Structure 1
């Protein structure tokens, strides 16, 4: 099969289209004919040689941890999932390919009418936002601060906070993305010096919870603004979080979380802006686009 893979670690140029063996579905697994795959910062880390301790990166490495497509084969013990069923789901690696194999409990039904590009880029950032916000205990009436709110993770976070009843959502972003933030229900605030004062000006009664997607400076600003550190989470600043006494994230992705998000999509609470869709052969360009920073919405690969 065709896959965007790498045989050495490095910059985007190491990610090339090549032929790799087709994976087979084992017991409890399904094989998906991939239609679209999301592009994540997790994937760019894999490309440079980073990996969580649980992953053994053996060349050729196929990145990609979220996908959408149709069930192509099922392994022993898998029931209730007919071939041809349209699904979206998540993996750790392997999604930048024509086929991906995952446990059957890592997929959910694709909502009718959800475009493939949105479905392919829905799982990872959606679940990351859900994970953070649920641990931040978002309540009706809350004022919530989302750093780096215009990106895919921020886009999900803003809309999910609103869906869960937050009265005010403040989003940090570059000025070019302020109109976009207003369109998804956030009050935009510019990054940089004076951020704490700007937030206090639009939230004179204080900030109840904050999510950092931008880095240590944003996390430190959050600690200044939020009284209870238990209501702060970060997706990227683990060392600063430990230093500041901000709790680490808990459990990871699961199908129940993803199902809840697809229902919110069907109800119109979540919309995902596709920044750009690249063909599988241009995965390197997709990584370059992601690593520019300050973009809005999601980058995806169209596989078939």
Structure 2
């Protein structure tokens, strides 16, 4: 179903989230779009919009050989061109269907030079070590954009605090949020939610939810990494901001797996250099 959504978006090129009906996504349009953005197929624009990303071959880590995944727009003509270029360059194309996400199309060539030539023959840009470069260009959580914001006052519908000891949201109060020297709070007003990171009793800033949770969890021994398969596991509530998540996804081309019972997400193909970067960016430590 999401393959159809990506194909439709590739021809449409841009639109509103509301345009992605259930007949295209088979579920939540926002969730499907978030996954497409993480996979490098689309970008979110202002005012609830999206645009499909230009097609590109995103190089996987050198440790896995001369391989790349196809990101961005995906049309039948593009796939035919890629197939012809692969045949001419002695390459191989593999297609693996993800659950509730577009198929992962991986291109493998006899050598790195052959892979670059294959991309040129197909008329596609080639990004060397795409995941590593994305992580290297990402701001750290310490430097993540935040906007000073006055503490909410008056009647509110709900207040939650992110607990780093439990790695989940817990019930709180406005008075606790106001008095807190540090902490990350989600406050529901009559018309919206605000996410406030406290750095002092009188200092609060708006920040992206994912970045705020990671800022709160800084220095926690919350990450696990297995050298075999390069599997990086994190608490589900510490899902990184999109640019970091995309960098990790492009270590393999696959969305992270989710263990509902353990409430853990796992990224595959994470090499030591990616691990060092993501730990430095997030401030997390290995268990």
State TM-score, norm by structure 2: 0.30
More strand by share: 2
Higher relative contact order (CA 8 A, sep 6+): 1
For the pair shown, the structure with the greater C-alpha radius of gyration is: 2
State TM-score, norm by structure 1: 0.29
